[in-house]
Structure 1
Amino acid sequence: MAIGVEHPSCFSIEKRLFVVPSWSPYGVAETRQSWIDARGTALPDRGVRPLRSIVIGALGGGLVLATTAITTWGVGDVLEAAMLFVVGSAVGAVLALGVRTLVATEKRGRVTRAAAPLPAVEIPLDVARAAPDDSSDDELILWATRVVRFRYLQEAMATRSRLSGARSATPGSLDPSEEEPLSSEAYRSAQADYEPVARLLGLTLP
């Protein structure tokens, strides 16, 4: 492509090219990192496994309660000590599982609350390939915005046309009030903005 990561305002993530606008006070490296962080991909849990947590909690709780009963409360009966060990094990297992669940929830919350990425605009690959080598960041953003807007509305209009054709095939199903003149107007506006960009970059004309 004519424009790539060698452009001073561009960076790439998973074969997607982005450009940082000139008005942004942030650099390319920190903007790229913010987009990586904002994806919110949770790291694999390498902590203690659930079963292991329960076993450790059960043993710890049982030993603590049984030891306390024997040394502090003066319980000398083996059966009573064993029952207290069972009770302590149950309490310890529940506490261990609860703590682990709270920690996991907090980790997921931190991932969900990841900060929004810093300002950057994705550049369609065909626009990047066709853009002159000396294109500025603002030119790339302008061209990308116009191309993406036109293509989005073009697809929306094509979808609406298909749906209208399907409804008109059924007698009485097409209501003139369902027409969307604003969408048509927006499409014509987007087309008018797109055409000079398409001619400049050699993209497919509408």
Structure 2
Amino acid sequence: MAIDGSHPGCFTHGSRLYAVPTTTGHSVPDTRESYIAAERVRRTRRRPRIHWTAIVGGVAGGLLIDLSAVNNAGVSDWLALAMMFALGGLVGFASAIGIRDAFVGRAPEPVVLRLPAVEIPGDVARLAPDDSTADELALWSLVTRRYRAAKVAVENLPFENDHGLFVSGPTTVAAPPSTEALASAELTYITARHDFEPVAELLGLPLPR
């Protein structure tokens, strides 16, 4: 049976499963609620909020430029007046927003921090023993994700092809990697692989080659 959101130390958010280690000092419900609140704030920020003063400013700007065109320049063409109204409306709209921000300021946006939790890879959740603790799931997940990230970093290092060019893909020419970068990536990968091997054996994950 795979580990899922019903585990006492885990919760799901969206399509992802998270473990809450006991060392965080936070409960699973509180951590889950922090993720929900952060998602709610993120969605709210996407919605543009237009204050009524901006609409009034836009209408006033359009009317003002039309009245000026009719009274001072004798413009009577409806199409020209409509275009000038739109232009004046844009100017008035932008001016109203700028003036309001200068004198009133923007309301501070709420800041919601997500409490610490560790995302569990799908294969780790599927192969983990049913009696696994949240701390074990978090540890196995961190080790697995660290190994996979280090492996990708090493695989993406530029290499020298048959033509003497360093490439980072089938056709992408790249600058030769520095000795320090190569050594650092290799050391990180070796360390991560060493830590991952016992986890892979325990869970039945493919062993590193």
Deviation at 1:28, TM superposition (A): 1.3
Q: Aligned equivalents of 1:36 and 1:102: distance in 2?
A: 34
Match of 1:54 among 52, 57, 75: 57
Give yes or no for contact 1:54–1:97 (8 Å, CA) kept in 2.
no
Three-state SS of the structure 2 residue aligned to 1:11 is strand
Residue 3 of structure 2 is matched in structure 1 by 3
Q: Aligned equivalents of 2:162 and 2:178: distance in 1?
A: 11
Structure 2 CA distance for partners of 1:16 and 1:101, relative to 1, 3 Å: farther
Q: Aligned equivalents of 2:28 and 2:193: distance in 1?
A: 32
Residue 138 of structure 1 is matched in structure 2 by 135
Three-state SS of the structure 2 residue aligned to 1:23 is helix
Superposed, which structure 2 residues align to 1:1-206 within 5 Å? Answer: 2-39=2-39, 40-43=41-44, 44-45=47-48, 48=51, 52-54=55-57, 98-99=99-100, 105-106=106-107, 109-111=108-110, 114-160=111-157, 163-166=158-161, 169-170=164-165, 177=179, 180-206=182-208
Three-state SS of the structure 1 residue aligned to 2:17 is strand
Deviations 1:100-136 (A, max 9, x none): 7887843xx515xx23211111111111111111100
Where structure 1 has 5 or more consecutive residues not aligned to the other structure, the ranges are: 59-90
Q: Aligned equivalents of 1:25 and 1:141: distance in 2?
A: 14
Q: Quick one: which amino acid aligns to residue 20 of structure 2?
A: V
Where structure 2 has 5 or more consecutive residues not aligned to the other structure, the ranges are: 61-91, 167-174
After TM superposition, where is structure 1 displaced by more than 6 Å over at least 4 residues in a row? 100-104
Give yes or no for contact 2:31–2:116 (8 Å, CA) kept in 1.
yes
Deviation at 1:47, TM superposition (A): 5.9
RMSD: 3.7
Q: What TM-score, normalized by structure 2, do the two folds share?
A: 0.65
Deviations 1:142-198 (A, max 9, x none): 1001100100000001011xx123497239x85774662232122111111111111
Q: What TM-score, normalized by structure 1, do the two folds share?
A: 0.66
Give yes or no for contact 1:168–1:174 (8 Å, CA) kept in 2.
no
Q: Aligned equivalents of 1:13 and 1:103: distance in 2?
A: 37
Give yes or no for contact 1:9–1:28 (8 Å, CA) kept in 2.
yes
Q: Aligned equivalents of 2:138 and 2:35: distance in 1?
A: 17
Q: Aligned equivalents of 2:57 and 2:48: distance in 1?
A: 16
Q: Which has the higher contact order (CA 8 A, sep 6+)?
A: 1
Give yes or no for contact 2:54–2:96 (8 Å, CA) kept in 1.
no
Q: Aligned equivalents of 1:12 and 1:184: distance in 2?
A: 34
The size of the alignment, in residue pairs, is 169
Decide which structure has the larger Cα Rg and report it.
1
Q: Quick one: which amino acid aligns to residue 98 of structure 1?
A: I
